[in-house]
Structure 1
C-alpha cells in the first residue's frame, strides 16, 4: 500500500513538475512575443510608482496581456525596481520585454508634453508641444514670446503637470548676452546669473532641464559642452591654418556662423576668410562690424551706416588687420568644424545669390559682376515691397 502511495505521489510530482515547466515556458513565451496593443499609446510612469500599479495600468490599456506575467518577468530580469519617471511611447505589438525596456531604460521621455524654451538669434519663444503616439511627431499646442504679457492658459496649466518635461534650446549664432537675458524670462528656472559668459563659450544645443533648475548650473552645462566639443575637434584640425589657438579658431567659427545659415556653405565661407588672412587681406565682414556697434546686445535692426563701416573699433574688420579680439557669437559644431577644416579653394569674395545662399568668386572683377546681379535682385524685391536680405563680403 505504501509503495502504491509513494508511486502515485512520485507520478503526481512529475506531472506537477512538467506542468510547472510548461507554465514557465508559456510565461516566457508570453513575455517575449508580440503583445496585444493595436495602436501606439503614451504611458506615464509617475514618480515613486510601484511595479504593481504600472503593470495594472499597462494591462487596462491593452499594452500587456497579463499584469502578473509582466511583474514576474520584471522580477526575473531584475528590473522590478528600475522604473523611471516619465512618459514613454509604447508601439503597436510591443512585447512585454520591450515594454519593460521602455519604462526602465531612463533618459529622455519619448512621448507626452514638453515645454521648449527656444533662444533664437533675433528673438525667443516658448513652445508647449505634445508627441502624437500615432505619428510619433510633435504637435504644437501653444507658442508665445516670453515676457510679452499674460501667458496662455494652456501653458499655465502645463506648468502644474508633474510629468511635464522642460527643454532649453540655443540656436547657433546667439550671443552670450542674449542667452543670459532670455534665461531670465524662463519661469520654470530659478536663481540669478552673475557675469555674462565669455562670447563663444556656450554650446548651441538642446538641453533637458528639471523644473526649478538653477540658471547658473545650466550656463555651466553649456560652457562645459562647448569646451568638450573644442577639445574633441581641435586635434583633428587642418595642419596649415593661419591661426594657432583654439580661441582664434572659435573667433573664425563665429564669423562663419553669422555669415551663413546654410550648412553646405560653411566650409567654403571659412575658406574665403582663411584665404584673405593668408594673403594679408582684411576680412571685411559686416557681422563683426555689427558686433562692434551692438556689443552683442541684440540685433542691430537696420543696415550698417557708412560712418560705422569707417569707424575704428576692435571689431571693424574693414579697418583692422586679422581677426577681431573675441568671437562675435556662440558658434555651433558645424561652424567650428568648418573653421578647423575649411574647404580648399581660391575664393576671396562672396555675395548673396537671391536664394538664401551665396555665390563665390576668385577675383574682384568676377565678384563685382556677381554684386551687380545681386543688386538687380534687391531692386526687384524692393519694387515688390520685399525686405532686403543678405549682402556681400
Structure 2
C-alpha cells in the first residue's frame, strides 16, 4: 500500500515538474516572441506605473495586452526601473525588447532647425510650434540666436533650448570678431552682428557674401548710406517678414532701421545671421566695389562706379520688363 502511495506521489510530482516546465517554456516563448507592432514607431511613454505605460503601448500597437507586460516587468525588476520619455520601437518588438528599450535605450533625439535670416518674431513662432517642447518662451532679442540645428527630447523646456541657441551665437560672434581683418570700419562685435544680419538677407549665395559685405564696408568708410532693401522690409513689417515687394512709401518710411533715410548701420540686427555671414563681414573680399543689383540669375551684378551700376540697373529692369510681358501668341 505504501509503495503504491509513493508511486502515486512520485507521479504527481513528475506531473507538477512537467507542468512547471511547460509553464516556464510558455513564459519564455511569450517573453521573446515577436510583438504586434507592424512598423517602427516612436511612442511617448508617460510617467507612472506599469498600468499607465502598458495602456499607451497597447494604444500604439506595441503590446497586445497589459497583464503579461506587468508580470514580466515585475519578474525582471532587478534590471532597473522603467523610464518615461519618447522611445523608438522596432517592428515586431518582443516583450523582452520593449522592457530593454524602456530601461536602457536613449530617448528619441528630436531636431529643430532654425534657418538663417529669420527675425526674432519668426524664431519665436518656430519654437512655439516645435512638437514636444514645453514651457514658456522667454523674449528673444533680434539677432541673438545662431541659426543651426538643435537636438532636444520630448518634454524639454523651450527656455533652455533658447539659451543654448543664444550661447551658440555668442561663441560664433566672438570667434568671428577675434579673427577679423584689420582696418574694418566697425567699432565692436555688435556692429559686426548688425552688418552680418544685412548681408544674410541680401543674398542666398554663400560665395557672394564676402563681396556684398565688402560693398557695405566700403560704403561705411565713405560715409555713404547703405541703402539696403532688407532693412526697409524689416522696418515696414515691424520684424514680421514682408510678404510683398517694396514701395516708394516703404523707402520713405521714417524708421531707425531704414538705411535709405539714415546713414550708417541700423541700431540693431534685422535678422539672425549664420556663421558664413559673420565670417563674410569680419573677413570680407578685397574690392573697391560700391554697388550691386540683381542680375536675373539669382545673383548680383557688382560695380565700382555709379555709371557702371546704372547700366547694371538698366539691364535688370529690362529683365523684369520681359518677365512681366505677356507671352507672344503664335
Higher fraction of strand: 1
Larger RCO, structures 1/2 (Cα 8 Å, 6+ apart):
2
Are positions 1:289 and 2:232 aligned together? yes
> Residue in 2 aligned with 1:182?
126
Higher fraction of helix: 2
Measure, in 2, the Cα distance between the counterparts of 1:200 and 1:311.
22
> Residue in 2 aligned with 1:322?
264
Report the 3-state secondary structure (helix = DSSP H, G, I; strand = E; otherwise coil) of the residue aligned with 2:129.
Answer: coil
> Residue in 2 aligned with 1:173?
117
Report the 3-state secondary structure (helix = DSSP H, G, I; strand = E; otherwise coil) of the residue aligned with 1:379.
Answer: helix
CA contact (8 A) 2:236 2:253 kept: no
Are positions 1:261 and 2:204 aligned together? yes
Cα displacement (A) at 1:86? 8.0
Report the 3-state secondary structure (helix = DSSP H, G, I; strand = E; otherwise coil) of the residue aligned with 1:179.
Answer: helix
> Residue in 2 aligned with 1:228?
171
Q: Which of structure 1's runs of 4+ aligned residues deviate more than 2 A?
A: none
Are positions 1:194 and 2:138 aligned together? yes
Normalising by the residue count of structure 2, what TM-score does the alignment of the two structures yield? 0.66
Matches within 5 A, 1:308-347: 308-347=250-289
Larger radius of gyration: 2
Q: Structure 2: any 5+ residue segments left out of the alignment?
A: 1-39, 46-85, 89-105
Measure, in 2, the Cα distance between the counterparts of 1:242 and 1:279.
10
Matches within 5 A, 1:338-377: 338-377=280-319
Aligned length: 233
> Residue in 1 aligned with 2:220?
277
> Residue in 2 aligned with 1:216?
159
Matches within 5 A, 1:1-393: 164-195=108-139, 197-297=140-240, 299-383=241-325
Measure, in 1, the Cα distance between the counterparts of 2:87 and 2:129.
25
Report the 3-state secondary structure (helix = DSSP H, G, I; strand = E; otherwise coil) of the residue aligned with 2:313.
Answer: helix
Report the 3-state secondary structure (helix = DSSP H, G, I; strand = E; otherwise coil) of the residue aligned with 2:292.
Answer: strand
Provide Cα deviations, 1:121-147, integer angstroms capped at 9, x if missing partner: xxxxxxxxxxxxxxxxxxxxxxxxxxx
